[in-house]
Structure 1
């Protein structure tokens, strides 16, 4: 007998599988469309762009984005154990207190910052130790960056010279300022949700992990979810759940599976001749962080020359050196105008030529940084392309649909251009690689439309309050939950991996009916 069937072995699925299987009296099946996470490039931090458009990538693409003059945006998502935590930039950011308090004020009971902080602390093993904001006994290893390229120290110093505070902990008392990011790494290697949670649990006899299995639809018995149909090597199988089916496939794939199973906007489903089981706004309300990077040539050595025998040895024997770089080593949080309650843009800074949506091969020493819009007011939509489970969904983020979002990115770029002029960075800059023609609004906006890409943080397609309740149960059906970034009522101000792990930690307690045991 299987109690819980979890669809998706990404960040949330790995947490759920590990936590729920702690009870030896229940049986858990974890289903993953991709394969194992054994490839070397998964675990070497600086190698993650090599995973783009590979067998480890769902390799999605947006529809023509209206706010980007019709540009289609490449959307990488992890397709392996660990999901996107096995191919992300490993930045450990939680978001802002106001994000969670805002969720709670809007009706997401139990999701205020004070409610979720214990779950962040429970998940975390921070090498700095324990305090009121951080934990040191959790599965997820959180460490200082071990690359420490001098360009990143120069970026932080330039931010200070431009008048912004140095912030040693973006997950502490205050978020504003510039600094170096902490990373989800262990001994200089990637610490994905699979490494942190799933692999230590896989020897349990009550946990079964099925890879290479595409979920095609949810099974129902009357008004209750009873299991999942999967395709393995072209053959259909059914996995039944006595207690619950839990979707943990992310902000793109979880809504897709719901809609394939007849749960979604009735008119959209009817147009594809999918029988409507529940008319819910699945896929509506999509949010993401659009990012616009700029880059400059430099004579300072960058990650372009990191793959040397010496650096490989430093990685494998010391867990240090350029190959431990998460690429986005530094950054900051800024308010582009007065009167904002929290930052509206975040910078990521990289000591390498990072261009063509991360797929460009560095041809010279260069470094880059730039803003993403942290709390967009624009909303997009995900819908089905066809009723075939293997078809990729239609995704429109609707980036920069509002004047507020457009103003944030334009002023964010002006902040970046000002930081680049400061003495600490000016001495490293030898020319322009990709920057706007000027700091005029027209030139910046033209640059934004040409060079914006995702910073890989899709959320809110199965949001609390519209699709699921505050305990993440799908409205109108028993035995079915969604547990991943899709349940966020709105995207948090920061990278989304740590919040997704937190959501799954809290969901595991909701499912088990226990309180946080931190």
Structure 2
């Protein structure tokens, strides 16, 4: 007897889940996503290229109306989540970092080694010829290192390419793009399918929500799922950015690789990250500009939340600097960046360093109070939303939603807390854990 599964969301987790579930012939799997398709021979130029700035500009590849408040006193702006088959893996910076093994062990995840061994996302270093001047300047510091990127032979590999394309011929797997889910059908606290925005209903024995840490709780809340904790505990990596006016000889092609290196440092229990950008996109007004991002990779605040408006749209507040620890951590990351930007290596490539869009320069940061004031009013995110359906609170160790049958969540929303790394690879590993736990004969 066969059983049917619906997987909602075809990003870093959903592509893996659909692949692993459909590996069992006795399962009929339908993968649905609200955005555009990503098929062999049909990859948009921006997604196929080296720059995530170009990928984000491809039609339908992000949510233009998704607004988020980062911190108190900072106006809400667009949150650049990936959309469509491949999700954020089609538009991210391709940074391939696994995160801390000790963190996963602390959560009681004893199967991570096996899950990592199943990950099909390739990773490789950029060619030396691809490194821009900002990467090269950062690498003059002994603490910096080249980054592995989710590429193969110099080309981005999305989750769709790694996990869906090899199995598109499976007769028990259906992939539907441009099919936004309005809600999950619930009967006597058992998931029985989904209703799409157009009113059509897809029936299933099991539903796995893989729509990401913003939209998974939104779909659950719109469906009337009342498990405590849904939407609570939202986290991201708080960050600040310095804009660099590069000397002419340091200009980098706007379609080139923006990021190929990083610097990680520890201050007490905190992990700090500096990410250089050798260009910041193709727009005429950004020509000749680069950037340096400084981030706290180990935030502790859990005051962020995702809710829904009366019309069912997301209401997102990260509350990134809600506690003194995170504020001090981001100040430490800022100081680290300031020291580096004042080094000889950067002096040789940078004409001027700006700290806002009004032309204020780095010289305005004269002491501790000015740094703290700037951080508080210019804090941003890394687009690494997590933990809004946390394991141990909303879902159990098998990813099942507490209080419901045949309803699961598997994406970055189930991390008990945010990993200390860019979240694409950890989310892929997480989805492989789902596959292992649901690997059985039907």
Does the alignment reach a TM-score above 0.5?
yes
In structure 1, the residue matched to 2:399 is 472
In structure 2, the residue matched to 1:119 is 115
Q: How does 1:13-28 map to 2 (within 5 A)?
A: 13-28=14-29
Would the aligned equivalents of 1:73 and 1:454 in 2 still touch at CA under 8 Å? no
Deviation per CA, 1:146-200: give whole Å up to 9, x if none: 312243122121x22xxxx3xxxxxxxxxxxx21111001222210101111111
Q: Distance in 2 between matches of 1:486 and 1:383?
A: 14
Q: How does 1:183-194 map to 2 (within 5 A)?
A: 183-194=149-160
In structure 2, the residue matched to 1:402 is 323
User: Alignment length, in residue pairs?
Assistant: 427
In structure 2, the residue matched to 1:349 is 276
Change (3 A) 1:22 1:7: same
Q: How does 1:203-242 map to 2 (within 5 A)?
A: 203-231=169-197, 235-242=198-205
Q: Distance in 1 between matches of 2:93 and 2:25?
A: 34
Q: Give the secondary structure class of the aligned counterpart of 1:27.
A: strand
1:386 aligns with 2:317: no
In structure 2, the residue matched to 1:6 is 7
Q: CA deviation at 1:61?
A: 4.3
1:329 aligns with 2:260: yes
Would the aligned equivalents of 2:55 and 2:90 in 1 still touch at CA under 8 Å? no
Change (3 A) 1:479 1:363: closer
Deviation per CA, 1:286-337: give whole Å up to 9, x if none: 0011211113222255565345xxxxxxxxxxxxxx3xx1x2221121123x
Q: Give the secondary structure class of the aligned counterpart of 1:297.
A: strand
In structure 1, the residue matched to 2:213 is 251
Q: How does 1:439-454 map to 2 (within 5 A)?
A: 439-454=366-381
Change (3 A) 1:62 1:373: farther
Superposed CA RMSD: 2.2
Would the aligned equivalents of 1:73 and 1:453 in 2 still touch at CA under 8 Å? no
Would the aligned equivalents of 2:44 and 2:58 in 1 still touch at CA under 8 Å? no
Would the aligned equivalents of 1:382 and 1:461 in 2 still touch at CA under 8 Å? yes
Would the aligned equivalents of 1:52 and 1:59 in 2 still touch at CA under 8 Å? no
- The partner residue of 1:296 within 231, 238, 244 is 244
- The partner residue of 1:287 within 235, 241, 266 is 235
Q: Distance in 2 between matches of 1:202 and 1:511?
A: 21
Q: Distance in 2 between matches of 1:60 and 1:301?
A: 38
**Long gaps (5+) in structure 2:** 356-360
In structure 1, the residue matched to 2:358 is none
Q: Distance in 2 between matches of 1:413 and 1:64?
A: 21
Q: Which moved more, 1:413-422 or 1:456-465?
A: 413-422
**Long gaps (5+) in structure 1:** 105-110, 124-138, 166-177, 264-277, 308-321
In structure 2, the residue matched to 1:156 is 139
Deviation per CA, 1:22-56: give whole Å up to 9, x if none: 22232110001111133221121215345259422
Would the aligned equivalents of 2:245 and 2:352 in 1 still touch at CA under 8 Å? yes
Q: Distance in 2 between matches of 1:195 and 1:362?
A: 34
Would the aligned equivalents of 1:297 and 1:364 in 2 still touch at CA under 8 Å? no
Q: CA deviation at 1:281?
A: 1.4
Q: Give the secondary structure class of the aligned counterpart of 2:118.
A: helix
Would the aligned equivalents of 2:69 and 2:318 in 1 still touch at CA under 8 Å? no
Deviation per CA, 1:400-444: give whole Å up to 9, x if none: 111111111111111111112222222222222335412412222
Would the aligned equivalents of 2:49 and 2:55 in 1 still touch at CA under 8 Å? no
Would the aligned equivalents of 1:11 and 1:85 in 2 still touch at CA under 8 Å? yes
Would the aligned equivalents of 1:346 and 1:494 in 2 still touch at CA under 8 Å? no
Task: State the TM-score, normalizing by the size of structure 2.
Answer: 0.90
Would the aligned equivalents of 1:77 and 1:84 in 2 still touch at CA under 8 Å? yes
Change (3 A) 1:303 1:101: farther
Q: CA deviation at 1:364?
A: 4.0
Change (3 A) 1:306 1:62: closer
Change (3 A) 1:248 1:303: farther
1:363 aligns with 2:281: no
Would the aligned equivalents of 2:207 and 2:407 in 1 still touch at CA under 8 Å? yes
Change (3 A) 1:85 1:387: same
Deviation per CA, 1:71-111: give whole Å up to 9, x if none: 2242111111101111111100111123212322xxxxxx1
1:48 aligns with 2:10: no
Would the aligned equivalents of 2:5 and 2:30 in 1 still touch at CA under 8 Å? yes
Change (3 A) 1:36 1:225: same
Q: Give the secondary structure class of the aligned counterpart of 1:79.
A: coil
In structure 2, the residue matched to 1:313 is none
Q: Give the secondary structure class of the aligned counterpart of 2:199.
A: strand
Q: Distance in 1 between matches of 2:69 and 2:186?
A: 36
Would the aligned equivalents of 2:271 and 2:298 in 1 still touch at CA under 8 Å? yes
